[in-house]
Amino acid sequence: MKILILGADGYLGWPTSIDLALNKHNLLLIDNYEKKKLMKKNYRKPLVLNKKIENVIPVLKKVNKNVNFKNIDCSNYKKFTEVFRKFKPDAVIHFAELPSAPYSMLGYYEGWKTLQNNLQSTFNLVWNVKQYQPNCHIIKLGTMGEYGTPNIDIEEGWINIKHKKRSQKFLYPRQASSLYHTSKIMDTDLIWFFSRLHGLKATDLMQGPVYGIYTNNFSTENNLEPTFAYDDMFGTVLNRFIVQAVANIPLTVYGSGNQIRGHINIKDTIQCIKLALKNPSKKGVLNIYNQFTQQFSVNQLANKVAEALRKINLNVKIKNIKNPRIEQEKHYYNAKNKGMKKLGLKPTLLTEKAIIEMARYVIKNKKNIDKSIISPKTTWK
Amino acid sequence: MKILILGADGYLGWPTSIDLALNKHNLLLIDNYEKKKLMKKNYRKPLVLNKKIENVIPVLKKVNKNVNFKNIDCSNYKKFTEVFRKFKPDAVIHFAELPSAPYSMLGYYEGWKTLQNNLQSTFNLVWNVKQYQPNCHIIKLGTMGEYGTPNIDIEEGWINIKHKKRSQKFLYPRQASSLYHTSKIMDTDLIWFFSRLHGLKATDLMQGPVYGIYTNNFSTENNLEPTFAYDDMFGTVLNRFIVQAVANIPLTVYGSGNQIRGHINIKDTIQCIKLALKNPSKKGVLNIYNQFTQQFSVNQLANKVAEALRKINLNVKIKNIKNPRIEQEKHYYNAKNKGMKKLGLKPTLLTEKAIIEMARYVIKNKKNIDKSIISPKTTWK
């Protein structure tokens, strides 16, 4: 299959690219290293930094000669269109978005940059698919954060509303708690607009916070390990906790720690993307999956990390700090996630073994830990 | 009251500005004439074109010395912020958006321009209010088109959803049928985000298609009449019908004509804005009103115009043409509009007298009618 991967350099994009390369797909990888630049500009050095794609393309080409790379800004219509029209993809996987809630709440510039970049990249994509490749399947990474924390069950993307003896199916109402998450709501609006009006085929993967490291023999042997961030801005909560445990500093729980989310191991992210590729939506239909495997509160996550890592003799402490975010701390949360299981997802659970495996990887790279970039620097005010 | 009016040159902005000037408010009017430029660029000359504001400010100053004008692009953060911080408004009325569904569907450039302009103007506004004037009341013109045509009653902005024995109040789900209308959905997301997170005071006026002319003794005597468009791109349906009747060409009904919408006379628009000014929302609350007075199908509108104008001896014909838009033509439609009536709105109904009054105004300007700009040139494909 001819697959265009937008944002191929990222935490999810890079392991997805390697996996699909090994699966012998014809791939065009796109990135402009914007996230790498932002991490550098904001002094958030990751624990492990993957190499620039152009430097490792020869290694990938040894196993699959149909893998190429272009350094393109997906929010640049002219350049993006040139590449898109020439490649004529069967499917596009769209990771090309600024992914950080704290970054989007830093100030005017960062907020608008997040909105503009994410919306214009998505607009360029749907416009090109409509215009030049209407049978192309769009797979877009959404986020569970679009739903917020409503007091009713979170269904998978859609809800049938009964109101005064009539009923209507709607996109499940979305209400996010950062500008980043709000930009993803707007993306959804655009993709659904183009799907229903112009008959596009699209899949929206509403992903929960991702944790873990995705490596395989090929990536380990060839030093193609993905970026692993643990800082307050680009790291996710579980990855941060494990780095704090290894660095012998307390796990910092924001506020009461009763915030519940659906989490997913990055190994399952790759599985889900491959399942979505195999199961394209019909024309004019937007398939939506809630892409997480287990719900945990922040306290539960912290306790799980502490218990598991005490077994390898790490003295883990937990500390509640003032919540830098504006979010509900006591709330109902019950999100559905049957869709991916029906397609065949075999969930990787957050076991003690999985936590210890992650910690061993972090210990191997312990010299890179910078304790000063872990505590939150951005508040929502 | 110190009121900032964004988009003061438009069909609604200009009569609102005159009315509030006569009411002795301290006003700063803002426009960059972008709509005038787009009308010119697309060869859509209006029946009546209002004068540039800088040229008539001296006339307004005779009745109210506290009226000023700045030619500013509201999507320009730096310039907008300079003006906003200096003026320190108590209220802002936000009309500064590209308002045309057909324009937004012309092509890539027009679609993105509509999204970018509308979203960035709104972002600049909410950001400035949060940062520098948190008690300022934001009055934003939304559109009934954000709701689309759902199979359940359209409530006023919000809906309480009961689902599996639990319930939650949400923004009423929105699903529009043009990129313009989609840009307004995104505006709503932004304004609601800033209201609930940062405690802003905001009112969203979900307006239906507007018809009519708003003049008073002062504007007539001083040649301050507002722009009146009747073309396929910037004209609204009833205004277009009346011009077609006067020009002795058939009223063009798109498709079956069974599309139902809630309509409003521009005189009531001005009333509603004044009622919103008098009734600001509380901090952190987004008040939403459905701003229309009567529901009609397109066929009903055409028949009303034909019947009324036959009484003044116009030989009105009606013609169904292929619908250039993608929209439901047979649908349920029952929208609520109690809110404004509770605040004191006295609806101006679409009577024969009202239609004839509009036709007489059009007849007075008959020499300006260009028959070639009335039929739709933009299709939704």
* CB contact at 8 A, B271 and B346: yes
What is the C-alpha to C-alpha distance for residues A162 and B163, in angstroms, rounded to an integer? 9
Residues of A in contact with B325 (CB under 8 A): none
Residues of B in contact with A131 (CB under 8 A): 108
A159 to chain B: closest CA residue = B163
Does A78 lie at the interface with B, CB-CB under 8 angstroms? no
Residues 6 or more apart in contact with residue A171 via CB below 8 angstroms: A157, A158, A159, A188, A192, B173, B175
In tens, the pLDDT along A31-53 reads: 999 999 999 999 999 999 999 99
Catalytic residue among B35, B113, B140, B184: B184
| pLDDT at residue A226, rounded to an integer | 92
Asked if the Cβ–Cβ distance from B111 to A119 is below 8 Å, we say no
What is the C-alpha to C-alpha distance for residues A205 and A202, in angstroms, rounded to an integer? 10
In tens, the pLDDT along B129-144 reads: 999 999 999 999 999 9
Active centre residues of A (catalytic): 143, 180, 184
Does A41 lie at the interface with B, CB-CB under 8 angstroms? no
Residue in A166, A182, A197 closest to B380 by CB: A197
Does B78 lie at the interface with A, CB-CB under 8 angstroms? no
Q: Taking the mean position of all CA atoms in its chain, how far away is CA A89? A: 22
pLDDT confidence tier of residue B352, bands split at 50, 70 and 90: very high
In tens, the pLDDT along A296-337 reads: 999 999 999 999 999 999 999 999 999 999 999 999 999 999
pLDDT confidence tier of residue A179, bands split at 50, 70 and 90: very high
In tens, the pLDDT along A328-357 reads: 999 999 999 999 999 999 999 999 999 999
Q: What is the ipTM of this complex?
A: 0.97
The shortest C-alpha distance from B367 to chain A (Å) reads: 39
Asked if the Cβ–Cβ distance from A332 to B166 is below 8 Å, we say yes
What is the C-alpha to C-alpha distance for residues B232 and B252, in angstroms, rounded to an integer? 10
Q: Taking the mean position of all CA atoms in its chain, how far away is CA A203? A: 15
Phi-psi map region of A255: left, alpha, beta (phi>0 left; psi -120 to 50 alpha): left
Does A85 lie at the interface with B, CB-CB under 8 angstroms? no
Share of chain B above pLDDT 90, in %: 99
Does B120 lie at the interface with A, CB-CB under 8 angstroms? yes
Between A and B, how many residue pairs show a Cβ–Cβ distance under 8 A?
98
- Assess whether B180 carries a catalytic annotation: yes
In tens, the pLDDT along B3-58 reads: 999 999 999 999 999 999 999 999 999 999 999 999 999 999 999 999 999 999 99
Does B150 lie at the interface with A, CB-CB under 8 angstroms? yes
- Backbone phi and psi for residue A166, each to the nearest 5 degrees, phi listed first: -120, 165
The shortest C-alpha distance from B220 to chain A (Å) reads: 43
B177 pLDDT above the threshold of 90: yes
* CB contact at 8 A, B14 and B226: yes
Residues of A in contact with B120 (CB under 8 A): 112, 116
Q: Taking the mean position of all CA atoms in its chain, how far away is CA A356? A: 23
The shortest C-alpha distance from A249 to chain B (Å) reads: 31
Name the helix (H) or strand (E) containing B30: strand B26-31
| pLDDT at residue A166, rounded to an integer | 98
